[in-house]
Amino acid sequence: MALTSINSFINRASAGYTQTFLLWEERQTAKQNLFATISPALEYITSITLPALPTGVTSYIPLHATWFSGNVRTPFFAKMIHFGTIDISGASGTWTGTGNTMGTRTELGVSNNVYGPLIGIVKTALNSAPGSLNVTYVDDAGNAAEAAPAIALTASSAVKSAGLVRLNRTGNTGDRGVRSVSTVTRTSGTTPTGEVDLYGLIPIVGFDNVGTGVGGFVSCLTTNFHPIRLTAGDVIGVFSYGTTTLAAQAGLGHFTIIGED
């Protein structure tokens, strides 16, 4: 049965249907802001993939999370939807899409399409003159073939360097997010090499500023009265905003889920 009350959550937890994932980061070298023209820099810290649903469990619900940092951060946890990968080499790069969308959810009694921010994460390190990305996507309103402004890739970005893609938006008007990505190409650059993964994000929970050596705890239930439901294979990422060059540092945290029957 669905978990709809505090007592039902307590009973389910007492029956042993919770799991805690430990999260750890030890960055030996700095990462870069993948899109240097956008500030502050988006930082990809780490991620986990949720396991297969055990017998008697139909979905996972996030319970709480912590993060302890070696630097000042504003961390948040989000579900990552992988749209595809662009290999930036060649005449205009090669885009390999997954066909994934942000999905749907029930809001005010009806099924609505989910949309969210679009990010890039370096899969294979970029060279010193990687050029710019051109992204075509389906926007929050369902309009296909929306084109984001060309966005310059930061030279020599290391693996796991990340950045937020600027959409077709000016001020308070324009696109608020993406439902899916259609195509990605690369322009300019000098003998570009490297690969970039494109993801949509569905936020789960966020923290206030976490200071140097100071941790944070947040309940996913009290911050989300209608809890998000997750399933096997969902990838949960830990992100933050930081400085342009994201220094070598360490962090530690956890993410706890409960299995709904």
Q: What is the pLDDT of residue 211?
A: 63
With b meaning 16 or more CB within 10 Å and e meaning fewer, what string describes 5-30?
eeeebeebeeeebbbeeebebebeee
Q: Is residue 107 part of a domain?
A: yes
What's the domain count of the chain?
1
Q: What is the pLDDT of residue 71?
A: 72
* pLDDT beneath 70: ranges in the chain: 1, 72, 171-172, 209-214, 223-226, 242-245
- Taken as a whole, the chain contains a residue count of 261
Q: What is the pLDDT of residue 64?
A: 92
Rg of the chain over all Cα atoms, to the nearest angstrom:
19
* One-letter identity of residue 179: R
Q: What is the pLDDT of residue 189?
A: 95
Q: Is residue 210 part of a domain?
A: yes
Q: Are 73 and 246 in contact (CB under 8 A)?
A: no
Q: Are 212 and 100 in contact (CB under 8 A)?
A: no
CA atoms within 13 A on the CB side of 161: 26
Residue whose structure tokens are 């360490």: 250
Q: What is the pLDDT of residue 213?
A: 62
Q: Is residue 6 part of a domain?
A: no
**Which domain covers residue 212, as residue numbers?**
28-87+98-128+151-166+192-260
Q: Is residue 15 part of a domain?
A: no
Q: Is residue 111 part of a domain?
A: yes
Q: Is residue 1 part of a domain?
A: no
Q: Is residue 80 part of a domain?
A: yes
Q: Is residue 19 part of a domain?
A: no
Cβ neighbour number for residue 112 with a 10 Å cutoff? 10
C-alpha 56/C-alpha 49 separation (Å) is 20
C-alpha 110/C-alpha 225 separation (Å) is 18
Predicted TM-score (pTM) of this structure? 0.92
Q: Partners of 235 in the beta sheet?
A: 49, 80
Q: What is the pLDDT of residue 223?
A: 67
